[in-house]
Structure formats: structure tokens, C-alpha cells
Chain A
Amino acid sequence: MGGLIKSSIARKVAMALSGLFLVFFLLQHFTINFTSIFSADVFNELSHFMGTNPLVQFALQPVLIFGVVFHFVMGFVLELKNRNARAVKYAKYSGGANASWVSRNMIYSGLVILAFLGLHFYDFWIPEMVHKYVEFAPEDPTRYYPELLHRFESPVRTGLYVVSFVFLALHLWHGFASSFQSVGFNNKYSVAATKFAKAFSIIIPLGFIVIAIILHLTH
């Protein structure tokens, strides 16, 4: 079992499992956001639940943060190790002849997502934490929807969200299906799973984009 930590395959599987975990989280996040465009009440109710339920706050949230940090730290480790594996570069390297751009630039799409996460934390998570655990402000279960609209007032911020989700789509276009291969799932069933992953990687980020634009226009 000890070999699992330093082996290349173990790192790869860890990358895939943390990625899949984030995909699952993304779907959950999308579902809640989606309610905001047709019912402020449902959105408030779900947000209130997520924001105050102790299981979510003190069990799921730390797991999620660990998952995100683990994933991108491991991403950087992989990238550095891989650059190191070819000390002298080719004078001419036709990367595009045999592999897609997205698959070769996961670290860049990942970096954009990381920058976005910074903005996202600044926008929602840090104010939430301050509100609840620093100021101990009284909970108002109807505050979430107006706060949400307020955030999407700025066209610049809405634009940044849109661009980030384009990069998320690129990251998932390779990453989601790639994680199947990493965990050893490549057979006649993985063909359908791969199609699902490709569809997911377009539809979900596109959904986030549409929601952001609708919220911007609603204000």
C-alpha cells in the first residue's frame, strides 16, 4: 500500500477521484443556482439550508475545500514533474498533430478556474463566513436572493464569470472523460460514459453562463 503514495498511477487516480468529486459538487451547485432563475423562494430556502445546516457547514464544506486544494496542488505537482521529465525541449514539436489543445493545456484552464475560485470566494464565501462566524449577524432566510442579484449587477463581474465558465468547459472537456481512463474504465460501456461526460462538460458550464446573464439582466 505504501507505494500508492509515490507512484505515478496512484497520483493519477487521486487526480481523477478528486476531479470526479468536484464534478459532482459542480452539479449540486448548478442545481441550486438553477432554482434562482425561476423562484427566489426556493433559492433562498436551499441557500439557507446549505448555509446553516451543521452537516453541510462542518462536514461537507471542509471536505470540499480539501478536495479543491488537493486537486490543484496535485495538478501543479504533476505539471512540474512532467516538465522535468523532458529536460531538453524539442526545437520543433507538433503537439497538435496527435493530441487536442485542451488535453495539452489542462494546467492553463485549471489556472483560470483557480483565479475564478479566488474571485468567487471573495464574492460569496468570505462575506458568508464573516456574516456568520465573525459578526454573528442574525440569520435572515430571505437575504440570499437579493445578495445574489447584487453580485451580478456589475457587467465586468458577470463577464468574468462567463469567461471562467468557458475555461471550466475546456477543462472538463478533457478532464471528465479522462478520469474514466485514469481509474481503469475503458471498455464498451465507457464509450457511452465518455459521451455523457462530453455533453456534461458543455451543458453545465453553459447553464452557469446563462444563469449569470439572466441574473445580470434581472437586476
Chain B
Amino acid sequence: MNLTLKIWRQKDAASQGSIVDYQVKGIEGDMSFLEMLDVLNEQLITKGDDPVVFDHDCREGICGACSLQINGEPHGPDRLVTTCQLHMRKFNDGDTIYIEPFRAKAFPVVKDLMVDRSSFDRIQQAGGYVSVNTSGNTIDANAIPVNKDDADESFEAATCIGCGACVAACKNASAMLFTSAKVSQFALLPQGQVEATDRVLAMVNQMDEEGFGNCTNTGACEIECPKGISLENIARMNREYLKASLKG
């Protein structure tokens, strides 16, 4: 199939960017979206042009490195997939596709489609850990009984790959889904109770300091999340936060 691509090009963080039109030919339905961009980049390199910069690593939907706002939706029109797992058969011959970076003040553009998501790392560093000794005398995880439902919910929260699609989709650029997944994965387990109070306060505080917007419960994040992280996590974080604020 032949496509018209409208891609955001931006030289560096300090420069102004703009949308530039490109034509690509001979795209197969079995290619992934990133492979389609590889084809474009080969064309550009052959012509001596600057290739389009975009983030990627595993290309199998597990690392959270790939991003891209595709036709106005993070990770494109398909559900429960990352951009690297989005197939070109979801598009038709002759389509025009907008490709933009994930946009948020807390995700500044580095170059073209690549954004700096280290704000997520700082939220995680603020409290996304547990005081479990892992050097030398590690305790068997099964020594502490955990309710199966809680274990499952915690596991589901932990499947968040930190891609940032929730922020990109949200009209408020809120990071509540990501932060709540990282709070929930510990809040549900006995091992997470030790730092429970400090964790939620510190992570929410960091989230606010990074300049993410306020949640207004539109639910866009849950729909666009490639891992199907549930809004229930946000409600849980709100509860944890209120509990912690009243305590601390």
C-alpha cells in the first residue's frame, strides 16, 4: 500500500518543529508500524536526508520504549497494543497518517518523535520500591501468604510498561494511570505496607511537581493503555492518598 505520512519534525529540544509530508510506497500489511517507518527512513537516508528519530527497543510490546501519537491516538487506532505491535493492515492504501510525539509539558521533545520520559523515572524513584532485603538472606516470596485476588490485581498493575500513552491520550496530560499502577502494585501486597504512607505521598507529589495535569476521569487513559491498566487503580491511589494524608 502507498501512504501519505504527516510527521512532526523537530531538530532539537530548543527548535520549533512542524509537520512535514512524506510519501511511502510498497508497505505490506504484515509490517509493524515501526517497520513502515524503517522503510521511510531508508528512503530518506538514500536521498541523503535526515532520518526521522523515534524511540524503540524490544519491538515486542514489553519494554515501553516505543511511543507515537498516530492519527490522534497513542499507539494508534488498535487496542491493547504498542506501536511496535501495531500492524499496517489496520490501515488502507491511500491513507494519510498523522504521526506526532506524545505531547505533555512533562515529556519534552528531544528530537522529531522522541520525547524525554524521565519524569516517569523520577516518579518511580520517589517511592516505587519496597524494603525487602534481596542481598544474601532473601526470604521466599511464598513465605507470606497473599490473597489470590490481591495478588492478581497487583500483578495486573505491575504489567504497566511505563510507555506514557495514558499521558498522551489524556486531554489534561495527567499521569494518574501510570502513577496509580505503580502505587497499586505495592499497595495490594503485604510487602508493600512498610512504606505505604510515604510512597503514595512522595509519588503523587513528584507527579505534581513534574507538571502533569489533573485527572478529570474522562477514562481516555484506560482505553488507550496497551496493557489495559484499569481506572480502579486510580480510585485505589486516591484512597491511599487520602488515608496517607490524614495519617501523615
Contact = CB atoms under 8 A, between A and B. Distances in A.
A85 B105 contact: yes
B29 interface: no
Interface residues of B, number: 50
A184 interface: yes
Contact of B71 (A4, A81, A92, A178): A92
Interface residues of A, number: 42
A98 B238 contact: no
Interface string A69-106: 00000000010011011111111111101111001101
Interface string A8-19: 111111000000
B3 to A, nearest CB: 15
Contact of A92 (B72, B220, B242): B72
Contacts, number: 142
Interface string B193-224: 00000000100110110011111111110011
Contacts of B235: 181, 184-187
A185 B217 CA distance: 13
B103 interface: yes
B220 A4 contact: no
A1 interface: yes
B92 interface: no
Interface centre among B72, B176, B223 (most CB of A within 10 A): B72
Contacts of A78: 214, 216
A74 to B, nearest CB: 10
Interface of B: 6, 8, 19, 69, 71-73, 77, 98, 100, 103-106, 109, 169, 171-174, 176, 201, 204-205, 207-208, 211-220, 223-224, 231-232, 234-239, 241-242, 245-246
Interface of A: 1, 3-4, 6-13, 78, 81-82, 84-95, 97-100, 103-104, 106, 174, 178, 181-187
Q: Would you list the 5 A-B pairs with minimal beta carbon distance, nearest first?
A: A94-B72, A85-B213, A184-B239, A186-B235, A82-B172
